[in-house]
Chain A
């Protein structure tokens, strides 16, 4: 429903006006111009139910050009993974994206759905409380009691709606759901129908229907996916950014985007600050200094790229609200402290060790940040 909100018949200006109020816009609205340009310039074969050709989808995600319009890259790093994701959806297989927290799984799935189907809003959010009704359908009980089972009383799940529309449904955090809920997907993915015995009918999937699910590697073993379900997905593992340059450009791009949409008011951090944060994050994540000479203890929490982005925007908010708008070492240190030391006393020791053994030796440019972190960690 989310994106339908934006498709009303309001005048252009009120529409613009309204859009500004939303905290976060879905990808198909955020990148509306790019998508339109791509559709206009598209010369490839468009699969049934798709909005554009697979190559155009690839360009939308990996960046490039559509005519004169520059398409910004949405997923930076391994283009091959995007190719594999798009190729999977072409073969009408369901796609499962797996990765550590903060490896842009949901981001990729949203943008894929936006490009292929033009609507990234058909989402089932997986939690321990997700029931089979969320996956299949449920009833409007008032109407059910009044009129018995009628098509009007049927409340369709996002997946069912995607099937009827030949579109793409997203299933977030699938491994958080109980196994029986996960297994409700098995018949949907193999039969491509949902039967509604109360109405004596079946909802069949139109061409173009598919599901993009995401799962977290840290959740492994909570609700292990059954082999039968896994077989119905093409599984792609999204890695943490392979090199520091890639990670830097991801962080830089997202921080700038977020800063402008939230009007943070602080200056976008200098490249030096970005480099420092990304270096610290990479070293703590890999358990080794960048020059591979020293071992570093890793904290228990997740040290993802997404975390680095939120740390930097957080520090910017601090600087704007309580400082003079310039990002200082103290602001960064406060952010780092929060990101590295999550809940455990052990993390505090890890952080202290890192400060004294690694950061202290990094030379003069790091001196200020080191002092600030040291004070913060006392």
Chain B
């Protein structure tokens, strides 16, 4: 130990999100009255401390550091109201002490993590997670030490390390015990693992050594600036606590200059408990932020023993408000059970696990699912942080604000949801072009935000499907939106750049035709022509390898819509036309092949045929209509394809006048001749009847042929055919059925009304019996 250490800089090791730590820290600070509070955190963020401790700042908030150029790397330091670091800063503000961050600047941290990531991949085949919490042994390391931590828990008779920690540290009310325990815990832990770490994870080890050397350097600098060493308190992660006491080995100027560095930016951002709870890794997040906030509040008000009452009655409160009644007596019993569980472990107060188990037993009556929702609300909570206006300023936030102003949307930036109908057409009553297309620009902005996952504006389907010029948006600003916007900074400096980046990423990941055609539409809606062309190249590439008519038809339909209505969005759709042609051609050419399918697949094929037919009508000047009709004819004539599809092809041809009445008649008689198996004949008729019913109903000759066919069938064959015919006619409306009965009446020479009566009337007894017999009939493998 050298002189500086003997003079005694006070080290206070903490777990980063620890209410107990915050409480003990405050007591310690009050007792010691230091003039400087040094905190583990990026030293270039020291200026942000005044914003963090600003009176209108409400945690949870986070410091976000990101590199300015690609590839973007980020680091995040979240702070909750019960973070010891946060409470330390506030204490410094209230007591006129200086507060500063002392860890490596973010520029070095991010580039070092970059280096470690790159070498890590080649060396150990492991990639560190992005946005790694700077300031703690990393996740990787925590995993390595997993066994040590769970062994500690087991020795203490606890079920997991969190339980052990809460019982032994958070609940430890003895003054000074927390700090002393962590110091010795840290020293022992390092003794245990350091040498192994040096061997197994040399880079991790070097990184930590470097950081600690820098922190010592900063501490020395503070001393040199005139603070008495014993009036300095250093708040750092438990792991580093024992390494900062001895200040002899500091990072030299030359060494510091030699460190890699990337230019970075820092910003504060509002954070949410939800995000805090989903972050993994020791210390970076914690699973139950709201619970710990409750713990902090009960501690701050001097009644920590009330935490169990508060927790369980809050759970019961949520249960009651969602309609599950639980009595106060049950809450009391739950508190008793939780306390008795704690006593079983020799603890002074129930841990979260004890409380949850007690809640499940008493409030859930043994069933977790009853209380799961309430538990999540109480454990995680919905709190979202708030920063003073103008504190969180990333380029993309500026850009968004500028755009909102330009498109006169500022008044919608409120937490009350409002509805905004847009008319994308040109407004001819205004003079400037900007004003004329105001709504279009707004729509483009909203679509870009949607693409970026920013939930500021939500699209509501309009009442009129056909009105492509109308859009309805629900607009609502929320702190979550703020977080989403800040996070989009990582994708680009402006909304447009970020959206383009996002779209490109999606295109690279795109593996199906449907996805690609959807992305073309997104690009069109976002008004991004360049990306639209890129997307169409991707679609084209995928389509070349595809023989899936259903997928191709759907994509072609999507394209056709974009081409048809693209000009309303002022998007040049001309480059898409060749692609549409190509898709359409492929759809046509593969049609006969794809039609050799079973009845189940035929349903989708019929949708595809409808779409292709619609395209051939709408875009007859671009697509090869003749080819379509030719392939349809081909399909219609073939006997080895799915009969329903052949029939359907015939129906389309008939509707479009591509075949004459005589040709249809001869086809009908061919298909419905007695030699053809009933399932084929009737199936074909089913397909034929799926389009243009009035066309069918108006052709008397067709019904004659059907009648003759049915008459010619053997009994067993008839029963088979019945299944298909029944299915074919089941979709006919009562009016159409009446028309058929009239036709048949004419054929059979009976009164049309009589025929209708027979066909639509109630079943007679013997007829019902015949139907019953039919149920027993063996239809084979139909």
Contact = CB atoms under 8 A, between A and B. Distances in A.
B344 A87 contact: yes
Contact of B159 (A55, A80, A86, A87): A80
A91 B215 CA distance: 51
Contacts of B329: 231
Interface string B333-361: 10011001101100000000000011001
Find the residue from B336, B366, B367 having the highest chain A CB count within 10 A: B366
A148 B238 CA distance: 77
B327 interface: yes
B723 interface: no
Contacts of A91: 333, 336-337, 340
A93 B365 contact: no
Contact of B366 (A54, A58, A93, A98): A98
Q: How large is the interface on B (under 10, 10 to 19, 20 to 34, 35 or more residues)?
A: 10 to 19
Interface string A44-59: 0000000000110010
A234 B341 contact: no
Contacts of B344: 54-55, 58, 83, 86-87, 90
B333 A237 contact: no
Contacts, number: 52
A87 B330 contact: no
A88 B330 contact: no
From A234, A235, A237, residue with most partner B Cβ within 10 Å: A234
Given A231-B327, A237-B367, A83 B362 contact: no
- Max chain A Cβ within 10 angstroms of own Cβ: one of B329, B340, B343, B362: B340
A234 B159 contact: no
A86 B329 CA distance: 20
Contact of A87 (B337, B365, B366, B367): B337
Interface in A205-222: none
A123 B336 CA distance: 27
Nearest to A90: B340
Give the dominant DSSP class at B's interface: helix
B546 to A, nearest CB: 28
Interface string B302-345: 00000000000000000000000001011001001100110110
A236 interface: yes
B366 A235 contact: yes
A286 interface: no
A84 B368 CA distance: 14
B318 to A, nearest CB: 19
Interface in A83-106: 83-84, 86-88, 90-91, 93, 96, 98
A311 B735 CA distance: 65
B460 to A, nearest CB: 39
Nearest to A234: B361
B365 A235 contact: yes
A187 interface: no
Nearest to B330: A231
A55 B367 CA distance: 26
A79 B361 CA distance: 15
A84 B337 contact: yes
The 10 A-B residue pairs whose C-beta atoms are closest, nearest first, are A235-B366, A87-B340, A237-B366, A87-B341, A91-B336, A90-B340, A235-B365, A91-B340, A234-B361, A87-B344
Given A87-B337, A90-B340, A234-B333, 7 more contacts: A54-B343, A84-B337, A84-B357, A91-B337, A91-B340, A231-B327, A234-B362
9 contacts: A58-B344, A87-B337, A87-B343, A90-B343, A91-B340, A93-B333, A98-B366, A231-B330, A236-B366
Interface of A: 54-55, 58, 79-80, 83-84, 86-88, 90-91, 93, 96, 98, 230-231, 234-237
